[in-house]
Structure 1
Amino acid sequence: MKNRNRLLLIAVGLGVLLNPLNSSMISIALARLQEVYRLDYTAVSWVVFAFYIASSVAQPVMGKASDLFGRRRIFLAGLVVAFAASMLAPFSPGFGWLIVCRIIQSIGTSMMVAVGMAIVRIHIKENQAAALSVLSVFLSGAAAVGPFIGGVIIGRWDWESVFWVNIPFTAAGFVLAWRSIPADRPEGFAVNSRPLLHWLVIMDVKGIILFAAGLTALLLGVLSFESSETAASWQILTALCGLTLLAGFVIHELRTASPFIPLRTFARYPAMTRVNVEYMLVNVLYYALFFGLPSYLQTVREVSVFETGILMLSLGLCSLAAAPLAGRWVDRSGPGPALLLSALLMTFGSLWLVMLNGSWPVASICIALAAFGISNGLSGVGLQAALFQSSPKEIIGVASGVFNTSRYFGTILSSLLTGLIMGGQLSSGGLRRLAVVLTAIALLLIFLNRQRLRAGFR
């Protein structure tokens, strides 16, 4: 690989790792943020909700924007936005300001994820498969080691460090990206020759607003009800308003010619829809454990931040180790067997947490973490392969975008599930109730994958 291509790959890698890194490091900081801002678990979960809601909107939007305004321009702008948000977040005078900084940070990091893969595909011609695999390592590796990094730096420098750590990545990434990513011209339209209303329609701003406002209102209504344990009229109205806005979003997306999320695609290709539903459920399982367990360990079992990061590392390392093995298995046998084993492992891990009690050593949690980690590695590869099998080649770009959106839906639902079941205060009983629900979801995945194998799909 040429030296210029190496620099480009490193620049893109430094940018794209920021989104999974910041979405995973925060899991270790939740307990500390509860103390600092004197909030319950449900309220502090908004640092997770805000990031994923913003990512679910920003990534498909910025992918479309890069086609119109240029990929290099979007990537460099993303680094600047992420840098600014990371600088400002530690100085937040209140929790609301911290949420705003997390939203800005999510938008900035999503700008790079949305165009990073396209930049590599377009500008690296030789050994392209190897280059893309390296980029995948940046993405999956950052998510895997995020809790460990968070545990180490929070234990040494407190919660602000999960934002400071982005500074060297964004600064180095900007310098390398400026030097190595070639300039590109927007495709199709002359950017300055179209009126503002045209761009608002092309970007489906109405759909974006309906989706973001509806999801936020629904979550705010449901979670505030759980926090207060009684339903006030404003909480009910907020949740109903959210449902109304989301219904309006669905109607709008089915009618518009340039949808933010192409819902008509789901109706046309039911096999692809089923893959996306499975991917959403897998992420509900994985991230409910990912975000719920660190706070449980620190709050209930009184495990230090550093030790929590060490324990959570088993989840990421097992996921990373399983992924390449899953790739070879799926190539030989198709995605069906790997996905069935993934569902079985998640069922085992959930049942292990159901049986867990305070007298067991803390290290025994690593058994459940390992089961979920291996399962995540298997399902990530298996579901991607199943998506390619079920999606016509002419819409594979749209299918990939919808697939990523399903992941974000799963992460949002996982945080909602964890907040509702755990309630305002974490406890061993709350973790056990969450594990029972996760077991039921894992059993549903076993059923779906057995049906796939019986229908003759590998």
Structure 2
Amino acid sequence: MKAGSRGLLMAVGLGILLNPLNSSMVSVAIARLQEAFRLDFTVVSWIIFSFYIASAIAQPVMGKASDLFGRRNIFLLGLVVAFAASMLAPFSPSFGWLIALRIVQSVGTSMMVAVGMALVRVHMTENQATALSILSIFLSGAAAVGPFVGGVLLHFWDWQAIFLVNIPFAAASFLLAWRHIPKDDKGAAAGERLSFRRWLAVIDAPGIVLFAAGLVALLVGLLSAKSSGQITIMHAAIGLIGLALLASFVRHELRAASPFIPLRAFATYPAMTWVNVEFLLANFLFYSIFFGLPSYLQTVRRINEFDTGMLMLSLGACSLVVSPIAGRWIDRSGPRPALLLSAILMTFGSLWLLTLQPYTPVISVCIALAAFGVSNGLNSVGMQAALFASSPKSIVGVASGLFNTSRYLGTILSSLLIGIVMGGAFSFSGFRVLSIILALLALILVAMSRRRREPGQLQEPQGISS
């Protein structure tokens, strides 16, 4: 691999790792943030919601923007935005300001993820498969070590460190990107000739507004009701407004010429829809553990952030070790056996959590973490293979976008579940209720995996907009 290619690969890798790193580091910081800002657990949960909602919106939008304004321009701008947000967040005078800067950070890091793979595909003609696999390691590795990094930073410093740690990565990526990513050709500046109204139509601004406003209103209504301990007319009204906005979003997307989320594909390709539902549920289960278990360890077991991060590292390590093994297995046997085993492991892990007591040896927690880690490794490969098998080549881009949307929705729902179950404070009784719910959901996933059929020759219906 040439020096210029290595520089480009390193620039993109250091940039794209910021999104999964920041989404995962915060899992061990929830208890510290709750203490620092003196807030209910449900309110602090917005540090998770805000990041994933912004990522779900920003990544597809910035993917479209890169086609119009240039991939290099979007990547460099994303680094500047992420750098600025990471610099300012530690000085937030209130939790509201912290959430606002967290959203800005999510948008900046999403800009890099949206175009990072494309930059490598376009500008690296040699050893492209190897380069893409290295980028995948940056993404999955950052997510795996995030809780450990967050635990170390919180142990030796405070919550501000989980933002400041981004600065050297962003600065190094910017310097390398400025030098090694080729300038965009003149055709990439087509967006500059678009009118503002046309640009809003291209990104489906009405759809984005309806989706974001509806999701936020629904979450506010549900979490406010649980936090206060009673359902008031105000809470019910906010929740109903959220549902109405989401219904309007669905109606708009089915009619839009360039939809933000092409929902028509779900009706046209039922096998692909089934995969996305499974993927959403699998992420729902996994991230309920990913975000819930650190709070259990810190709040119930009184384990410090460093040790919590070390324990959570086993979750990511199992995923990383299993993924390449799963790839070879799925190549031989198809995704169904791997996905069925994954669902069974999630069921086992959820039931195992029910055996935990406040005095149970910590090694027992590692058993549940290992089960969910292996399951996640099987899922990360198996679901992707199932998606490709169920989606015609003509809509691979649409299918991948819907797949990522399912991932984000599963993550958001996991945080919602934890917030509703726990209410104002994380408790052992709430953790047991959470484990029961996860076990029931895992059994549903087992049933779905058993019903899976390997798709045959796919038809190519017309009229699916990308």
CA shift, 1:232, in A, is 1.9
Q: Which residue of 2 aligns with 1:46?
A: 46
Matches within 5 A, 1:113-152: 113-152=113-152
CA shift, 1:194, in A, is 2.5
Matches within 5 A, 1:290-369: 290-369=290-369
Is residue 2:11 matched to residue 1:11?
yes
Q: Which residue of 2 aligns with 1:246?
A: 246
TM-score by length of 1: 0.98
CA shift, 1:145, in A, is 0.3
- Three-state SS of the structure 2 residue aligned to 1:445 is helix
Q: Which residue of 1 aligns with 2:399?
A: 399
For 1:113 and 1:14, the matched residues in 2 are separated by 11
Give yes or no for contact 1:69–1:186 (8 Å, CA) kept in 2.
no
Deviations 1:252-276 (A, max 9, x none): 1100100001001111100001101
For 1:222 and 1:74, the matched residues in 2 are separated by 36
Give yes or no for contact 2:75–2:111 (8 Å, CA) kept in 1.
yes
For 2:421 and 2:456, the matched residues in 1 are separated by 38
For 1:448 and 1:190, the matched residues in 2 are separated by 45
- Look up the equivalent residue of 1:435 and give its one-letter code: S
Structure 1 runs (4+) greater than 4 angstroms displaced = 186-189, 453-457
For 1:44 and 1:373, the matched residues in 2 are separated by 25
Q: Which residue of 2 aligns with 1:74?
A: 74
Deviations 1:231-254 (A, max 9, x none): 122111111111111111111110
Q: Which residue of 1 aligns with 2:61?
A: 61
Matches within 5 A, 1:105-184: 105-184=105-184
For 1:352 and 1:192, the matched residues in 2 are separated by 56
CA shift, 1:355, in A, is 1.5
For 1:419 and 1:363, the matched residues in 2 are separated by 26
- Look up the equivalent residue of 1:290 and give its one-letter code: F
Alpha carbons of structure 1 residues 192 and 425: separation in structure 2 relative to 1, 3 Å: closer
Q: Which residue of 1 aligns with 2:282?
A: 282
For 1:407 and 1:322, the matched residues in 2 are separated by 20
CA shift, 1:455, in A, is 8.6
Q: Which residue of 2 aligns with 1:271?
A: 271
Give yes or no for contact 1:68–1:186 (8 Å, CA) kept in 2.
no
Q: How many residues align?
A: 457
Give yes or no for contact 2:70–2:188 (8 Å, CA) kept in 1.
no
- Three-state SS of the structure 2 residue aligned to 1:190 is helix
CA shift, 1:187, in A, is 5.0
Q: Which residue of 2 aligns with 1:416?
A: 416
Q: Which residue of 2 aligns with 1:28?
A: 28
For 2:141 and 2:73, the matched residues in 1 are separated by 26
- Three-state SS of the structure 2 residue aligned to 1:184 is coil
- Three-state SS of the structure 1 residue aligned to 2:182 is coil
Q: Which residue of 2 aligns with 1:430?
A: 430
CA shift, 1:363, in A, is 2.5
Give yes or no for contact 2:210–2:248 (8 Å, CA) kept in 1.
yes
For 1:290 and 1:190, the matched residues in 2 are separated by 42
- Look up the equivalent residue of 2:312 and give its one-letter code: M
Give yes or no for contact 1:291–1:415 (8 Å, CA) kept in 2.
yes
Q: Which residue of 1 aligns with 2:379?
A: 379
- List alignment gaps of at least 5 residues for structure 2: 458-466
CA RMSD in angstroms, aligned pairs only: 1.3
- Look up the equivalent residue of 1:293 and give its one-letter code: L
- Three-state SS of the structure 2 residue aligned to 1:88 is helix
Alpha carbons of structure 1 residues 454 and 403: separation in structure 2 relative to 1, 3 Å: closer
- Look up the equivalent residue of 1:158 and give its one-letter code: D
Alpha carbons of structure 1 residues 3 and 198: separation in structure 2 relative to 1, 3 Å: same
Q: Which residue of 2 aligns with 1:185?
A: 185
- Look up the equivalent residue of 1:358 and give its one-letter code: P
CA shift, 1:87, in A, is 0.3
For 2:188 and 2:173, the matched residues in 1 are separated by 29
Alpha carbons of structure 1 residues 233 and 389: separation in structure 2 relative to 1, 3 Å: same
Deviations 1:8-67 (A, max 9, x none): 000000010000000000011100001000011111000000000000000111111111
- Look up the equivalent residue of 2:91 and give its one-letter code: F
For 1:186 and 1:152, the matched residues in 2 are separated by 46
CA shift, 1:359, in A, is 2.6
- Look up the equivalent residue of 1:148 and give its one-letter code: F
Give yes or no for contact 1:354–1:436 (8 Å, CA) kept in 2.
yes
Q: Which residue of 2 aligns with 1:102?
A: 102
Give yes or no for contact 1:319–1:377 (8 Å, CA) kept in 2.
yes
- Look up the equivalent residue of 1:449 and give its one-letter code: S
Alpha carbons of structure 1 residues 152 and 188: separation in structure 2 relative to 1, 3 Å: closer
Q: Which residue of 2 aligns with 1:92?
A: 92
For 1:190 and 1:17, the matched residues in 2 are separated by 29
Alpha carbons of structure 1 residues 131 and 223: separation in structure 2 relative to 1, 3 Å: same
Q: Which residue of 1 aligns with 2:463?
A: none
For 2:5 and 2:305, the matched residues in 1 are separated by 39
